Structure 1
Protein backbone atom coordinates (compact mmCIF):
# COMPACT_ATOMS: atom_id res chain seq x y z
CA UNK A 1 0.00 0.00 0.00
CA UNK A 2 1.36 3.39 -0.98
CA UNK A 3 1.24 5.63 2.10
CA UNK A 4 2.75 8.71 0.47
CA UNK A 5 0.64 11.79 1.09
CA UNK A 6 3.04 14.59 1.99
CA UNK A 7 3.40 15.79 -1.61
CA UNK A 8 -0.35 16.52 -1.59
CA UNK A 9 -0.04 18.97 1.30
CA UNK A 10 0.18 22.65 0.41
CA UNK A 11 3.74 24.01 0.37
CA UNK A 12 2.57 27.53 1.18
CA UNK A 13 1.06 26.64 4.58
CA UNK A 14 3.37 27.03 7.59
CA UNK A 15 4.08 24.09 9.90
CA UNK A 16 1.92 25.55 12.66
CA UNK A 17 -1.21 25.56 10.45
CA UNK A 18 -4.07 24.00 12.42
CA UNK A 19 -5.18 20.51 11.33
CA UNK A 20 -8.30 18.44 11.92
CA UNK A 21 -8.55 14.83 10.75
CA UNK A 22 -11.86 13.04 10.41
CA UNK A 23 -11.71 9.30 9.82
CA UNK A 24 -14.57 7.55 8.07
CA UNK A 25 -15.96 4.34 9.49
CA UNK A 26 -15.49 2.84 6.02
CA UNK A 27 -13.71 3.39 2.74
CA UNK A 28 -15.62 5.72 0.42
CA UNK A 29 -16.54 4.45 -3.03
CA UNK A 30 -14.89 6.15 -5.99
CA UNK A 31 -18.03 8.11 -6.87
CA UNK A 32 -18.44 9.19 -3.22
CA UNK A 33 -14.79 10.23 -3.05
CA UNK A 34 -15.13 12.38 -6.17
CA UNK A 35 -18.24 14.05 -4.76
CA UNK A 36 -16.56 14.57 -1.38
CA UNK A 37 -13.53 16.20 -3.01
CA UNK A 38 -15.86 18.65 -4.77
CA UNK A 39 -17.61 19.42 -1.47
CA UNK A 40 -14.26 19.83 0.33
CA UNK A 41 -13.01 22.28 -2.28
CA UNK A 42 -16.23 24.28 -2.00
CA UNK A 43 -16.00 24.33 1.81
CA UNK A 44 -12.35 25.45 1.71
CA UNK A 45 -13.20 28.28 -0.69
CA UNK A 46 -16.13 29.47 1.42
CA UNK A 47 -14.79 28.94 4.98
CA UNK A 48 -14.97 32.17 6.96
CA UNK A 49 -13.97 33.33 10.41
CA UNK A 50 -15.78 36.45 11.60
CA UNK A 51 -16.47 37.28 7.95
CA UNK A 52 -12.84 36.98 6.87
CA UNK A 53 -11.73 34.31 4.42
CA UNK A 54 -9.85 31.43 6.06
CA UNK A 55 -6.81 30.28 4.10
CA UNK A 56 -7.96 26.66 4.06
CA UNK A 57 -6.98 23.35 2.54
CA UNK A 58 -9.18 20.25 2.54
CA UNK A 59 -8.52 16.85 1.05
CA UNK A 60 -9.57 13.23 1.23
CA UNK A 61 -6.65 10.88 1.88
CA UNK A 62 -6.60 7.14 1.25
CA UNK A 63 -10.33 7.26 0.51
CA UNK A 64 -11.07 7.36 4.23
CA UNK A 65 -9.55 10.41 5.97
CA UNK A 66 -10.78 13.96 5.58
CA UNK A 67 -8.09 16.49 6.44
CA UNK A 68 -8.98 20.13 7.06
CA UNK A 69 -6.13 22.62 7.45
CA UNK A 70 -6.19 26.32 8.26
CA UNK A 71 -3.26 28.71 7.92
CA UNK A 72 -3.91 31.06 10.82
CA UNK A 73 -1.12 33.50 10.00
CA UNK A 74 -3.67 35.97 8.57
CA UNK A 75 -7.03 34.89 10.03
CA UNK A 76 -7.47 32.81 13.17
CA UNK A 77 -10.04 30.03 13.32
CA UNK A 78 -12.23 30.61 16.36
CA UNK A 79 -15.29 29.00 17.89
CA UNK A 80 -17.84 29.91 15.24
CA UNK A 81 -15.64 28.93 12.31
CA UNK A 82 -14.67 25.68 14.02
CA UNK A 83 -18.36 25.02 14.64
CA UNK A 84 -19.08 25.56 10.94
CA UNK A 85 -16.42 22.99 10.02
CA UNK A 86 -17.92 20.45 12.45
CA UNK A 87 -21.39 21.09 11.00
CA UNK A 88 -19.92 20.49 7.54
CA UNK A 89 -18.40 17.18 8.70
CA UNK A 90 -21.71 16.15 10.34
CA UNK A 91 -23.50 16.91 7.06
CA UNK A 92 -21.00 14.72 5.18
CA UNK A 93 -21.56 11.94 7.74
CA UNK A 94 -25.30 12.03 7.16
CA UNK A 95 -25.09 12.40 3.38
CA UNK A 96 -22.78 9.40 2.95
CA UNK A 97 -24.00 7.25 5.85
CA UNK A 98 -20.66 7.11 7.66
CA UNK A 99 -19.36 8.01 11.09
CA UNK A 100 -16.71 10.73 10.83
CA UNK A 101 -16.75 11.86 14.46
CA UNK A 102 -16.11 8.68 16.44
CA UNK A 103 -12.66 9.15 17.98
CA UNK A 104 -12.74 5.67 19.54
CA UNK A 105 -12.35 4.03 16.12
CA UNK A 106 -8.65 3.61 15.39
CA UNK A 107 -7.07 2.96 12.00
CA UNK A 108 -4.10 0.72 11.31
CA UNK A 109 -2.34 -0.67 8.26
CA UNK A 110 -2.87 -4.42 8.53
CA UNK A 111 -1.96 -6.77 5.68
CA UNK A 112 -1.43 -3.79 3.38
CA UNK A 113 -4.93 -2.39 3.99
CA UNK A 114 -6.41 0.22 6.28
CA UNK A 115 -8.36 -1.53 9.01
CA UNK A 116 -10.52 0.30 11.54
CA UNK A 117 -10.78 -1.15 15.03
CA UNK A 118 -12.84 0.09 17.96
CA UNK A 119 -10.55 1.03 20.84
CA UNK A 120 -12.35 -1.57 22.96
CA UNK A 121 -10.97 -4.31 20.66
CA UNK A 122 -7.38 -3.08 20.90
CA UNK A 123 -6.27 -5.50 23.67
CA UNK A 124 -7.78 -8.46 21.77
CA UNK A 125 -6.14 -7.40 18.51
CA UNK A 126 -2.79 -7.02 20.25
CA UNK A 127 -3.00 -10.29 22.22
CA UNK A 128 -3.91 -12.22 19.06
CA UNK A 129 -1.17 -10.73 16.90
CA UNK A 130 -3.35 -8.63 14.59
CA UNK A 131 -1.36 -5.57 15.66
CA UNK A 132 2.00 -5.11 17.37
CA UNK A 133 4.40 -2.29 18.17
CA UNK A 134 5.53 -2.08 14.55
CA UNK A 135 2.01 -1.91 13.07
CA UNK A 136 1.42 1.45 11.39
CA UNK A 137 -1.18 3.58 13.15
CA UNK A 138 -3.00 6.70 11.93
CA UNK A 139 -2.74 9.19 14.78
CA UNK A 140 -5.66 11.44 13.93
CA UNK A 141 -4.96 13.60 16.97
CA UNK A 142 -2.12 15.50 15.28
CA UNK A 143 -2.76 19.23 15.69
CA UNK A 144 -0.76 20.99 13.00
CA UNK A 145 0.79 20.57 9.56
CA UNK A 146 4.26 19.76 10.91
CA UNK A 147 2.85 16.91 13.01
CA UNK A 148 0.70 15.76 10.09
CA UNK A 149 3.85 15.48 7.97
CA UNK A 150 5.91 13.63 10.56
CA UNK A 151 3.62 11.95 13.11
CA UNK A 152 0.35 11.05 11.42
CA UNK A 153 1.28 7.54 10.27
CA UNK A 154 3.62 6.01 12.83
CA UNK A 155 4.36 2.62 14.35
CA UNK A 156 2.13 1.93 17.37
CA UNK A 157 5.23 1.91 19.60
CA UNK A 158 5.90 5.57 18.66
CA UNK A 159 2.35 6.74 19.33
CA UNK A 160 0.21 7.56 22.36
CA UNK A 161 -1.23 4.03 21.99
CA UNK A 162 2.05 2.57 23.24
CA UNK A 163 1.01 3.42 26.81
CA UNK A 164 -2.25 1.47 26.33
CA UNK A 165 -0.59 -1.79 25.30
CA UNK A 166 1.90 -4.15 26.96
CA UNK A 167 4.65 -3.55 24.41
CA UNK A 168 7.94 -5.32 24.96
CA UNK A 169 10.79 -2.93 25.74
CA UNK A 170 14.05 -4.15 24.17
CA UNK A 171 16.67 -5.02 26.81
Structure 2
Protein backbone atom coordinates (compact mmCIF):
# COMPACT_ATOMS: atom_id res chain seq x y z
CA UNK A 1 0.00 0.00 0.00
CA UNK A 2 1.26 3.51 -0.73
CA UNK A 3 0.37 6.55 1.41
CA UNK A 4 0.15 10.22 0.47
CA UNK A 5 3.84 10.71 1.18
CA UNK A 6 4.69 7.77 -1.12
CA UNK A 7 5.56 5.42 1.75
CA UNK A 8 5.42 1.74 0.81
CA UNK A 9 4.47 -1.13 3.08
CA UNK A 10 5.52 -4.75 3.33
CA UNK A 11 3.32 -7.32 5.06
CA UNK A 12 4.57 -9.80 7.66
CA UNK A 13 2.81 -13.12 8.10
CA UNK A 14 4.40 -15.62 10.47
CA UNK A 15 3.13 -18.66 8.57
CA UNK A 16 4.35 -17.47 5.18
CA UNK A 17 7.42 -15.55 6.38
CA UNK A 18 6.37 -12.24 4.86
CA UNK A 19 7.18 -8.99 6.61
CA UNK A 20 5.33 -5.70 6.56
CA UNK A 21 7.68 -2.72 6.56
CA UNK A 22 6.98 0.87 5.60
CA UNK A 23 9.59 2.78 3.63
CA UNK A 24 9.63 5.73 1.31
CA UNK A 25 9.80 4.76 -2.33
CA UNK A 26 12.86 6.47 -3.74
CA UNK A 27 13.74 4.61 -6.92
CA UNK A 28 14.06 1.16 -8.43
CA UNK A 29 17.72 0.92 -7.36
CA UNK A 30 16.82 1.44 -3.69
CA UNK A 31 14.00 -1.11 -3.99
CA UNK A 32 16.47 -3.60 -5.44
CA UNK A 33 18.97 -2.93 -2.62
CA UNK A 34 16.30 -3.44 0.05
CA UNK A 35 15.12 -6.64 -1.62
CA UNK A 36 18.66 -8.00 -1.80
CA UNK A 37 19.45 -7.14 1.83
CA UNK A 38 16.23 -8.68 3.15
CA UNK A 39 16.72 -11.84 1.13
CA UNK A 40 20.42 -12.25 1.91
CA UNK A 41 20.49 -11.34 5.62
CA UNK A 42 17.02 -12.35 6.83
CA UNK A 43 15.86 -14.85 4.19
CA UNK A 44 12.79 -12.67 3.55
CA UNK A 45 11.30 -12.34 0.11
CA UNK A 46 10.22 -8.80 -0.65
CA UNK A 47 6.79 -8.13 -2.13
CA UNK A 48 5.86 -4.61 -3.12
CA UNK A 49 2.18 -3.78 -3.24
CA UNK A 50 0.81 -0.83 -5.05
CA UNK A 51 -1.38 1.34 -2.84
CA UNK A 52 -4.82 2.69 -3.52
CA UNK A 53 -4.77 5.47 -6.04
CA UNK A 54 -7.54 7.39 -7.73
CA UNK A 55 -6.89 5.25 -10.79
CA UNK A 56 -7.39 2.06 -8.71
CA UNK A 57 -10.57 3.38 -7.14
CA UNK A 58 -12.20 4.62 -10.31
CA UNK A 59 -12.68 2.53 -13.41
CA UNK A 60 -11.66 3.77 -16.84
CA UNK A 61 -15.01 5.50 -17.39
CA UNK A 62 -14.74 7.52 -14.18
CA UNK A 63 -17.48 5.61 -12.36
CA UNK A 64 -16.99 3.75 -9.07
CA UNK A 65 -16.16 0.04 -9.44
CA UNK A 66 -19.08 -2.35 -9.88
CA UNK A 67 -18.28 -3.87 -6.51
CA UNK A 68 -20.10 -0.89 -5.01
CA UNK A 69 -23.56 -2.37 -5.40
CA UNK A 70 -26.80 -0.47 -5.78
CA UNK A 71 -28.76 -1.46 -2.71
CA UNK A 72 -29.34 -4.86 -1.14
CA UNK A 73 -29.13 -8.01 -3.22
CA UNK A 74 -31.41 -11.04 -3.34
CA UNK A 75 -35.04 -10.21 -4.07
CA UNK A 76 -38.34 -11.67 -5.22
CA UNK A 77 -40.44 -9.09 -7.07
CA UNK A 78 -43.77 -8.63 -8.85
CA UNK A 79 -44.33 -6.48 -11.96
CA UNK A 80 -47.80 -5.75 -13.30
CA UNK A 81 -48.95 -5.00 -16.86
CA UNK A 82 -51.90 -2.66 -17.47
CA UNK A 83 -53.79 -5.60 -18.99
CA UNK A 84 -53.86 -7.42 -15.64
CA UNK A 85 -51.13 -9.95 -16.41
CA UNK A 86 -48.16 -9.97 -14.09
CA UNK A 87 -44.58 -11.18 -13.89
CA UNK A 88 -42.93 -12.60 -10.78
CA UNK A 89 -39.16 -12.93 -10.73
CA UNK A 90 -36.21 -13.44 -8.44
CA UNK A 91 -32.65 -12.22 -8.57
CA UNK A 92 -29.53 -12.68 -6.50
CA UNK A 93 -28.28 -9.28 -7.64
CA UNK A 94 -29.45 -5.81 -6.60
CA UNK A 95 -33.03 -5.32 -7.78
CA UNK A 96 -32.48 -1.96 -9.54
CA UNK A 97 -29.93 -3.65 -11.82
CA UNK A 98 -32.35 -6.47 -12.72
CA UNK A 99 -35.23 -4.02 -13.34
CA UNK A 100 -32.97 -1.98 -15.61
CA UNK A 101 -32.24 -5.16 -17.61
CA UNK A 102 -35.99 -5.83 -17.96
CA UNK A 103 -36.58 -2.25 -19.15
CA UNK A 104 -33.74 -2.51 -21.68
CA UNK A 105 -35.12 -5.81 -22.97
CA UNK A 106 -38.62 -4.33 -23.37
CA UNK A 107 -37.21 -1.23 -25.09
CA UNK A 108 -35.09 -3.31 -27.51
CA UNK A 109 -37.97 -5.75 -28.08
CA UNK A 110 -35.66 -8.74 -27.69
CA UNK A 111 -36.59 -12.07 -26.12
CA UNK A 112 -34.33 -11.91 -23.07
CA UNK A 113 -37.26 -11.28 -20.72
CA UNK A 114 -40.81 -12.58 -20.38
CA UNK A 115 -41.86 -8.94 -20.04
CA UNK A 116 -40.31 -8.18 -23.40
CA UNK A 117 -42.04 -11.20 -24.95
CA UNK A 118 -45.36 -9.95 -23.57
CA UNK A 119 -44.97 -6.42 -24.95
CA UNK A 120 -43.83 -7.74 -28.34
CA UNK A 121 -46.93 -9.96 -28.52
CA UNK A 122 -49.17 -7.14 -27.25
CA UNK A 123 -47.62 -3.83 -28.42
CA UNK A 124 -50.47 -1.75 -26.95
CA UNK A 125 -49.78 -3.03 -23.39
CA UNK A 126 -47.71 -1.06 -20.92
CA UNK A 127 -45.64 -2.40 -18.06
CA UNK A 128 -46.27 -0.56 -14.78
CA UNK A 129 -42.64 0.21 -13.92
CA UNK A 130 -43.67 2.59 -11.13
CA UNK A 131 -45.66 -0.11 -9.33
CA UNK A 132 -43.08 -2.87 -8.77
CA UNK A 133 -43.76 -4.79 -5.57
CA UNK A 134 -40.84 -6.25 -3.64
CA UNK A 135 -42.08 -9.49 -2.10
CA UNK A 136 -38.82 -10.45 -0.40
CA UNK A 137 -35.61 -8.45 -0.03
CA UNK A 138 -32.10 -9.22 1.27
CA UNK A 139 -32.73 -12.91 0.64
CA UNK A 140 -29.37 -14.47 -0.18
CA UNK A 141 -30.59 -18.10 -0.10
CA UNK A 142 -31.33 -19.23 -3.68
CA UNK A 143 -33.69 -22.02 -2.65
CA UNK A 144 -35.81 -19.73 -0.49
CA UNK A 145 -36.04 -17.14 -3.29
CA UNK A 146 -37.11 -19.84 -5.77
CA UNK A 147 -39.67 -21.21 -3.31
CA UNK A 148 -41.15 -17.75 -2.66
CA UNK A 149 -41.27 -17.07 -6.39
CA UNK A 150 -43.06 -20.39 -7.04
CA UNK A 151 -45.61 -19.76 -4.26
CA UNK A 152 -46.50 -16.31 -5.63
CA UNK A 153 -46.77 -17.63 -9.19
CA UNK A 154 -49.03 -20.46 -8.01
CA UNK A 155 -51.27 -18.06 -6.06
CA UNK A 156 -51.52 -15.68 -9.03
CA UNK A 157 -52.43 -18.51 -11.43
CA UNK A 158 -55.32 -19.60 -9.17
CA UNK A 159 -56.98 -16.18 -9.22
Normalising by the smaller structure, the TM-score range is under 0.3
More strand by share: 1
Q: TM-score, normalised by structure 1?
A: 0.24
